[in-house]
């Protein structure tokens, strides 16, 4: 039988073929759309991967480049002790001599006749940074419920007077006091609103000696008890910040050292020991005491380096008979070093502090030596009072009576305290 014919002569086979073609086109469209979607998805993934890689890479660089917190501290990234003195009569002095309630007559040079006051207007400028401007309130907040104790000789006492004067004007009279205890060896300035004390303890050799009386300490034959420190140390064991110094009283070729007790039945064994060995023995006793008794999580330790003297003017080009008397300007030659500063003694301190550091105890050096070398004009000279003011006859003999060891205030010790303040801010 013949196959059935559709109208217009179209065969059923022809219609089926058309449907197949259409299906084929539809399949191709779906496949094309699928491939497009895949391509689009792949493109998105590639772009996202590039973005994440670039962004993640930047984040990694930032995290790697970000220094640890400690290296952001000023005292970690800047040598505060390398710099120059800049005359600044706009910002300095930081206080006025006559307005400090606790000024020492030994350091009040203007009060005792000094007319040239440029020594008050010099600012220390490190080469790499600026020292933080001293803020008395900020310091007192750091010292709230704490003890800051200076331990050492009359130079350290001068730095203590400086610090008291620096905070004095920020405290109303009714909220501050000062008292002497321990037979005058310990002087305590208290800021009552902060429950904070700034103290000085007289121990010129750090260890015990026959010069421990804060007033009657001038003895012809100085003896140091090289293994004894407890008599002094018990008064500052629990301090929060300790600032030590000791050099001035060691300036001799040898010193008598004692093993045993000053008050024992045999009086102890006494032997003359050369410098700097006897100095090293005393500092080692001090270091051993710190290691055993100091609470390392509480107490911060500082050691102030040698304060130079200016007793021979020929060292900086002056006359052979001259000293600091009459000097009105600092030494401008960078790196100047006078003969009174003993490198051997400085190395002893460095070695002892390095030894402590190796045993896990850090004592920060406040290295005032080089910056203070320049300040030949900053001493009291004849403008001072020791026990009594100098007589007119003594004033006419500055070669014998000029004090070229201590420092006028306001003056150089204020900068020592500004450096200490920078470290306290970083604690």
List the catalytic residues. 154, 403, 406
Answer positive or negative: Cα dihedral of 147, 153, 158, 161. positive
Residue 197 tokens read as 């004390």
**Residues 350, 369 contacting (CB under 8 angstroms):** no
Spatial distance between the Cα atoms of 179 and 189, rounded to a whole number of angstroms:
7
3-state secondary structure of 126: strand
Spatial distance between the Cα atoms of 94 and 414, rounded to a whole number of angstroms:
8
The closest alpha carbon to 289, from 234, 351, 354, 367, belongs to 234
3-state secondary structure of 322: coil
User: Given the structure tokens 């000053």, which residue do they identify?
Assistant: 262
Spatial distance between the Cα atoms of 304 and 150, rounded to a whole number of angstroms:
10
Backbone angles phi, psi at 106, to 5 degrees: -65, -25
Length of the chain as a residue count: 427
User: Given the structure tokens 């900053």, which residue do they identify?
Assistant: 378
- Give the CA distances from residue 258 to residues 228, 284, 384, in Å, rounded to whole numbers and listed in that order: 9, 15, 35
Burial of 321 (0-12, 13-18, 19+ CB in 10 A): exposed
Question: Any bridge partners for residue 107, and if so which?
Answer: none
Spatial distance between the Cα atoms of 422 and 424, rounded to a whole number of angstroms:
6
3-state secondary structure of 100: coil
């Amino acid at each position: 039988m013949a196959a059935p014919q559709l109208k217009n002569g179209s065969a059923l086979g022809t219609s089926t073929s058309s449907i197949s073609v259409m299906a084929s086109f539809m399949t191709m469209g779906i496949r094309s759309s699928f491939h497009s979607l895949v391509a689009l998805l792949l493109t998105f993934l590639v772009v996202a991967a590039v973005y994440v890689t670039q962004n993640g890479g930047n984040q990694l660089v930032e995290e790697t480049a970000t220094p640890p917190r400690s290296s952001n501290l000023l005292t970690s990234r800047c040598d505060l002790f390398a710099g120059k003195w800049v005359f600044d009569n706009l910002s300095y002095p930081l206080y006025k001599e006559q307005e400090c309630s606790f000024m020492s007559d030994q350091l009040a040079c203007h009060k005792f006749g000094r007319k040239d006051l440029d020594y008050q207007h010099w600012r220390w400028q490190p080469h790499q940074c600026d020292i933080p401007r001293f803020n008395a309130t900020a310091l007192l907040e750091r010292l709230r419920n704490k003890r800051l104790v200076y331990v050492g000789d009359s130079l350290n006492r001068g730095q203590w007077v400086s610090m008291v004067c620096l905070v004095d004007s920020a405290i109303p009279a009714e909220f501050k006091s000062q008292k002497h205890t321990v037979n005058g060896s310990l002087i305590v300035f208290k800021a009552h609103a902060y429950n904070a004390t700034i103290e000085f303890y007289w121990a010129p050799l750090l260890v015990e000696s026959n010069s421990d009386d804060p007033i009657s300490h001038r003895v012809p034959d100085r003896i140091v008890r090289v293994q004894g420190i407890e008599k002094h140390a018990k008064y500052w064991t629990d301090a929060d910040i300790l600032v030590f110094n000791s050099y001035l009283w060691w300036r001799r070729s040898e010193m008598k050292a004692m093993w045993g007790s000053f008050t024992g039945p045999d009086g102890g064994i006494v032997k003359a020991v050369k410098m700097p060995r006897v100095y090293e023995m005393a500092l080692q006793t001090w270091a051993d005491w710190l290691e055993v008794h100091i609470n390392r999580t509480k107490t911060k330790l500082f050691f102030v380096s040698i304060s130079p003297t200016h007793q021979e003017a020929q060292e900086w080009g002056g006359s052979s008979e001259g000293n600091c008397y009459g000097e009105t300007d600092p030494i401008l030659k960078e790196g100047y070093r006078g003969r009174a500063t003993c490198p051997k003694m400085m190395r002893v301190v460095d070695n002892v502090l390095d030894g402590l550091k190796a045993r896990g105890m850090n004592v920060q050096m406040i290295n005032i030596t080089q910056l203070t070398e320049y300040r030949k004009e900053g001493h009291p000279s004849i403008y001072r009072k020791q026990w009594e003011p100098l007589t007119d006859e003594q004033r006419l003999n500055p070669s014998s009576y000029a004090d070229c060891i201590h420092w006028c205030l306001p003056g150089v010790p204020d900068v020592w305290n500004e450096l200490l303040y920078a470290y306290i801010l970083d604690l």
